[in-house]
Structure 1
């Protein structure tokens, strides 16, 4: 049954992502122009992330911060919308999650799925896939997602280890119906703008 659900998941990913790219093409173009007008640097931000089975891949987003922001100030952490590294258009893109739209292309090329555990950077919260505890490696059994169970429940309000536990729950209970419910909840979560910026980890 799980193989059937995984097949349906991939079919759904390709179909929905392709339709999304076609329908949202004007939005892509408008965002691209606004980014170029608001700050110096590329339109897209790309970064190496850990995907299925810990394999590295390039994730794509619309750039919302100044160039090399991850090496300035708080680094990876963005704890407030007033972070000076965020561009003017970037605040809007982050608040509406429109910065994630280029990941539809990640979904089309098979490195990501619409729903799944969010892919971490290669060096945080653990340095490389091999340094993850065995219990945490379960989250890498499926393709990472643009959204996921953690995003519609805890999002950035808890530590990485707590998010990983939620990701593992998704892996263990996955079915195509669950994916559809998560997508609907994601829309509601974005509209409410909850837990966009992470709290300080203890």
Structure 2
């Protein structure tokens, strides 16, 4: 993973508010290279190991609803590059054209199989292809659609210094994002004005404190978070708010 020279960054990223994050990452270029090697090796190994799972999930999706196995959507990654993300389809075909870009709790567009895949984040597995291609990394800011990136502040643009990620600290803290948006009158507006800025605080903090070891820890914490998605009672979710205090949202 090579960090571009400052003068080679897109003009909309060459801001003073981005420079401090760039300078921090520039000092860690060796760690960024190790990160890229790790991503490619582990992604290929994981794909080989999960090949049978790919087949089973693909069959389940086709049996459950009409439409393709894969969902592809244009997202934004490093330096503002647009790419198509790979995900197992968890919603009815063309769901992005008949509703909000963000999914809220009890969204009727989510299929039965899709609901299971989303609970355990299995829909994210095909992003191994995006990792190998270099558009994504295991850990990094989740890739947003263009319309949301257009709402970024100057400082938020710093998150585009690195490739988008499958998981992140923000993903862990907001793993139940769908329920947070469940009661919003306008899901897109609620996401842009409330959820996105709070998630970005975690993303920017992660970039400023970047370390390869820290990213390994984030990967393990993500696995633990998925396993503990539901509390023992099974009738409510544990959600972390911006103050890192716990509150419940009834199922």
TM-score, length of structure 2 as denominator length: 0.72
Task: Look up the match of 1:38.
Answer: 64
Unmatched tracts of structure 2, length 5 or more = 1-26, 181-193, 231-236, 242-251
Determine the structure 1 residue equivalent to 2:84. 58
Match of 1:140 among 155, 160, 168: 160
Q: Secondary structure at the match of 1:177?
A: helix
Q: 2-side partners of 1:154 and 1:44: how far apart? A: 24
Given candidates 88, 97, 102, the residue that maps to 1:71 is 97
**Alpha-carbon distance in structure 2 between the residues aligned to 1:92 and 1:189:** 16
Q: Does 1:178 align with 2:198?
A: no
Instruction: Report the CA distance shift for 1:196/1:18 in structure 2 as closer, same or farther (over 3 A).
Output: farther
| Structure 1 residues 196 and 134: alpha-carbon distance in aligned structure 2, compared to 1, 3 A threshold | farther
Contact 1:42 1:63 in 2 (8 A): yes
What is the distance in 1 between the residues matched to 2:55 and 2:238? 25
Q: Which runs of 5 or more residues in structure 1 are unaligned?
A: none
Classify the secondary structure of the residue corresponding to 1:40.
coil
Q: Is the 8 A contact 1:51 1:140 kept in 2?
A: yes
CA RMSD of aligned residues (A): 1.9
Residue aligning to 1:116: 140
Provide the rounded CA distance (Å) in 1 between the counterparts of 2:166 and 2:54.
Answer: 17
| SS, match of residue 58 in structure 1 | strand
* Partner-residue secondary structure (3-state), 1:123: helix
- CA shift, 1:196, in A, is 9.8
Alignment correspondent of 2:31: 5
Equivalenced residues, count: 192
Larger CA Rg, structure 1 vs 2: 2
Which deviations, in whole Å up to 9, do the C-alpha atoms of 1:83-138 show, x marking residues without a partner? Answer: 221111000000010000000110001000000000001112x43xxx52211101
TM-score, length of structure 1 as denominator length: 0.89
For 1:46, what is the secondary structure of its paired residue?
Answer: strand
Could you tell me which residue of structure 1 aligns to residue 196 of structure 2? 160
SS in 1 for 2:146: coil
Extract structure 1 runs of 4+ deviating beyond 6 A: 194-197
Deviation of the 1:59 alpha carbon: 0.4
Match of 1:191 in 2: 227
